[in-house]
Structure 1
Amino acid sequence: MVHARTTPFAMPLPKALEHVDRFFGLDTILTDEGCDILRPYYQQSEPGYKRVHSEKGCMHMALNPDGVYSADGYFTQIRTVADHIRQVQAKRVLELGSGMGFNTIALAPDHPDVQFTGLDLMAHHVNSAGKDARHLPNARFQLGSYADIPTDLHGADVVFAVETLCYATDLDAVARQIAAAMAPGGRFIMYDGFRRADFHQAPPDVQTAARLFEVTTAVTGGFHSVEACEAALARAGLVVLRRDDLSDQSIAGLRYLHHRSARFFRSWKYRLLKHVLPVYLLRNAVAGLVGPYMIEGAGPNSGDTQAAITYSVLMAEKPH
């Protein structure tokens, strides 16, 4: 394995954008900005998450604190969740946007006295997760939206959301739902991508890379700012405990996916897939290719030019 800092980009950002434009059309992709493509995106992308992104169907970024890519980085987020479960001696845990169940299924065996529930908007995700969790008596998955959390799920001691609140269209409404679902003294942990406050001061090609990543991962309204999310949680009555920028930990995983995606754009064999595979599945190659530029900027080394997106965690508590 090679340290991320010593792994060069597969190509300069202008060349990456040229590849994307030639294969998909930049303007064609960006016409989806503001459109609701969430359901077809996840329906089409499920095979890609399982066969390319992670064997176990993980649907979030790897975080590698040592700067060396390893699939163990997909468990970094839930290690933090596990810490909070122990700190508050949780009995009920609710995951929002649980996808194919990776996080909840990984947590449940280590906390047999805790009841875990995963809530997800996609029926095929819920069905898939439920099948994989058949052996876990303390884990279940339920169809529903965090925009309207069912009252039978209220009273959770820990609520967590990994790369899903980026899809929220009304942060205040969702924050109120989260606060209502939490037990007094409960914790909320949120990992996600966020637009930097100075997003529009980043170089234009870096902004384009960020917008492409957003659209090709169905975040067609653009990532929220971390400040907006923090303010919404506070208005909902939660106390924000901390906010950490973990962008540096995401670089190794993003560069790993970047190099895998570069092979797609360079090989005529892969390009033939355009004629047989669904468009939203294929566009994940765009997200993989441009991901590092939005986090690091356009230069060959982190910090060479201004970035547009951060990867951060927010933690909050509901007062007693």
Structure 2
Amino acid sequence: MPQKKRAALRAATPDRFAMPHARTTPFAMSLTEALGHVDRVFGIDQILADEGQDILKPYYLQSEPGYKRVHSEKGCMHMALNPDGVYATDGYFTQIRNVAYQIRQVQAARVLELGSGMGFNTLSLAPDHPDVQFTGLDLMAHHVKAARKNAGHVPNLRFLQGSYFDISPDLHNADVIFALETLCYANDLDAVARQIAAAMAPGGRFVMYDGFRRADFVTAPEDVQTAARLFEVTTAVTGGFHMIEAWEAALARAGLVVLHSDDLSDQSIAGLRYLHNRAARFFHSWKYRLLRPFLPKYLIRNAVAALVGPYMIEGAGPNSGDTMGAITYSVLVAEKPR
């Protein structure tokens, strides 16, 4: 690919070498205050009434402008991970760098992304691996349309509409399969794990980043559990995050070997607090709140997810670790035996 073309593609996403520009900030308010604001503006019971309901399609259809405005114009749809504890947009590439590492490790020729959204991840990877064929698979037609537009004429990249519950045999023999914050929506882990295993080439790697309920979720303080449930519902994970142990077991039953799973919650704190403080402006300002009746329900509810996000990871106190959290942000890597 010509150097100018590759430079143009990289310019379409946030600067992956950006210098940190906002240090981890304190909470804008206590969890008690945050839940009070959510209840007053939205009604906690009204939000939690969506638990168990299928709101995935309207959520993503309505939320697309929010992702583009908050994360990037190309619609990054996952959390930033900042290992140094300093928020910077470069953190949106942390997960992608690990996927690139796995590609090199297995000398991949075919890579499949599940839940590829508007193409941010594969668009970032494909120009740097011109000899690898990348495919993004997403359930939402409007995501696929946007991703294809974003991809332009990248020759080794394509986007298809489809579900990870039914991966086409045409996409099998992938050397690397990865999923960033999408398998939380799976309602049958064994069925999805079997699909992933069937689509992987022997010796291939599977990489999963997501939120997970802690095994001791029910022993977390009630207000922390409420924050976690609000985050889940307002990001359309209405069945609740799965436990990572459940995914490890499902992948093992499907014949894959779990190489490692790592808790990266500390790396998510800077980005979550950044979003928390942005959301606080909405709840503190009557001008912002006046917009609520005029904006789509699921789009505006993202302000709730942003406000309560840090508490579900860090706990209820004003300082990290004051009380136990209920959710972890983790990575799981598995391999298909040869």
> Do the structures match in fold with TM over 0.5?
yes
Q: Deviations over 1:228-269 (max 9, x none)?
A: 001000000000000000000000000000000000111111
Partner of 2:159: 141
Partner of 2:212: 194
Q: Deviations over 1:97-121 (max 9, x none)?
A: 0000000000000000000000000
Cα separation, 1, equivalents of 2:73 and 2:259 = 34
**Counterpart amino acid of residue 86 in structure 2:** V
Q: Deviations over 1:125-169 (max 9, x none)?
A: 000001111220000000000011011000000000000000000
Cα separation, 1, equivalents of 2:41 and 2:253 = 44
User: 2:203 is paired with a residue of what secondary structure?
Assistant: strand
Number of aligned pairs? 318
Q: Deviations over 1:13-57 (max 9, x none)?
A: 010000000110000000000000000000000000001233331
Q: Deviations over 1:165-197 (max 9, x none)?
A: 000000000000000000000000000000000
Match of 1:284 among 302, 305, 308: 302
Q: Deviations over 1:253-306 (max 9, x none)?
A: 000000000001111111111121100000000000000000000111111101
Is 1:73 matched with 2:59?
no
Partner of 2:23: 3
Cα separation, 2, equivalents of 1:32 and 1:154 = 35
Cα separation, 1, equivalents of 2:265 and 2:69 = 25
Is 1:226 matched with 2:244?
yes
Partner of 2:289: 271
Is 1:215 matched with 2:230?
no
TM-score (norm 1): 0.98
Structure 1 segments (4+ residues) deviating >3 Å = none
**Counterpart amino acid of residue 213 in structure 1:** F
Partner of 1:131: 149
Cα separation, 1, equivalents of 2:184 and 2:227 = 17
Cα separation, 1, equivalents of 2:196 and 2:293 = 42
Cα separation, 1, equivalents of 2:211 and 2:297 = 23
CA RMSD of aligned residues (A): 0.7
- Is residue 22–residue 88 contact of structure 2 (8 Å, CA) maintained in 1? no
Cα separation, 2, equivalents of 1:140 and 1:56 = 16
**Counterpart amino acid of residue 220 in structure 1:** T
**Counterpart amino acid of residue 331 in structure 2:** V
Partner of 2:70: 52
Cα separation, 1, equivalents of 2:29 and 2:249 = 38
**Counterpart amino acid of residue 255 in structure 2:** G
Q: Deviations over 1:179-227 (max 9, x none)?
A: 0000000000000000000001110000000000000000000000000
**Counterpart amino acid of residue 194 in structure 2:** R
Structure 1 residue runs of 5 or longer lacking an equivalent are: none
- Is residue 313–residue 327 contact of structure 2 (8 Å, CA) maintained in 1? yes
**Counterpart amino acid of residue 186 in structure 1:** G
Percent identity between matched residues is 81
Partner of 2:202: 184
- Is residue 205–residue 334 contact of structure 2 (8 Å, CA) maintained in 1? yes
Alignment of 1:247-266 (within 5 A): 247-266=265-284
**Counterpart amino acid of residue 197 in structure 2:** A
User: 2:291 is paired with a residue of what secondary structure?
Assistant: helix
User: 1:64 is paired with a residue of what secondary structure?
Assistant: coil
User: 1:103 is paired with a residue of what secondary structure?
Assistant: helix
Cα separation, 2, equivalents of 1:199 and 1:102 = 32
Match of 1:160 among 161, 171, 178: 178
Partner of 1:301: 319
Deviation at 1:8, TM superposition (A): 1.2
Deviation at 1:3, TM superposition (A): 3.3
Partner of 1:102: 120
**Counterpart amino acid of residue 260 in structure 1:** R
User: 1:112 is paired with a residue of what secondary structure?
Assistant: coil
**Counterpart amino acid of residue 306 in structure 2:** G
Structure 2 residue runs of 5 or longer lacking an equivalent are: 1-20
